[in-house]
Amino acid sequence: MQESFTNLLEAVKIMAHNINLQHLSVADRNAFILGHFVDTWQGRLSDNTLAQHVLNIQYFMDSYLSYCVIGVHDEPRSVDQVTAYDVYRFITDWLPRKGLVVSARQVKSHLTSLTKLYTFMREQHYMPPEQAAAIVQTMKVDRQEMIEAVLTYDDEPDESQSTDEAFFAQLKERWKSLPPDASRG
């Protein structure tokens, strides 16, 4: 009896968090989710590891989602409104273009942080489970490709924007075909 009550209480907390999040600004939503992430992992990860995850996630939220997507979307988006395409583009284009990631180790660090974040978000019901699963699955399936894209970023000749758009359109189509529960395999 006590266990079912505890489960019910947890479900109510989850619903309350989701309802409250709907009315928050993008910055407040991101801060709330990141705060919950830190609270959940504090004591379970070393302080240095958690700090690195927070730095990576915060950069994704504050730099990429707040500024870069404005050209693609009409307004900044919160971390719970992200798609697999956003994560792929952040890793393979934004980070190397900004000169912040130049080694495989740094790419892996960002991929690990974002994988941990979106796994957490799925478990905590911050976004539809199939959306979070697609993001995590993309980072697993395309991991090596993403690392190679960053490492060879400056080696590639300048191509027209339409070529880049065609490439990303092909990736979007491939991600749409992923099964919703692909990350549970």
Residue 158: the pLDDT is 53
Among 154, 82, 144, which Cα is nearest to 114's?
82
Eight-state DSSP code of residue 23: T
| Domain ranges within the chain, ordered by starting residue | 2-184
Residue 45: strand, helix, or coil:
strand
What does residue 64 show for φ and ψ, rounded to 5 degrees? -75, -55
Residue 100: the pLDDT is 73
Return the residue matching tokens 């952040």.
Answer: 90
Residue 42: strand, helix, or coil:
strand
Residue 51: the pLDDT is 92
Residue 94: the pLDDT is 87
Residue 35: the pLDDT is 92
Cα–Cα distance measured from residue 88 to residue 64, given in angstroms and rounded to the nearest whole number: 12
Residue type, 70: I
List Cα–Cα distances, 112 to 70, 95, 115, 116, in angstroms. Answer: 25, 15, 5, 6
Among 56, 63, 60, which Cα is nearest to 79's?
60
Residue 9: the pLDDT is 45
Residue 76: strand, helix, or coil:
coil
Cα–Cα distance measured from residue 135 to residue 89, given in angstroms and rounded to the nearest whole number: 12
User: Within 10 A of 64 (CB to CB), how many other CB atoms are there?
Assistant: 22
Cα–Cα distance measured from residue 111 to residue 94, given in angstroms and rounded to the nearest whole number: 14
| pLDDT by position in tens, the chain (length 185) | 556 545 544 554 554 455 455 557 888 889 999 999 999 999 999 999 999 999 999 999 988 887 755 455 557 788 998 999 999 999 998 888 887 777 899 999 999 999 999 999 999 999 999 999 999 999 999 999 999 998 888 765 555 455 566 666 766 777 677 666 544 44
Cβ neighbours of residue 93 closer than 8 Å, sequence gap 6 or more: none
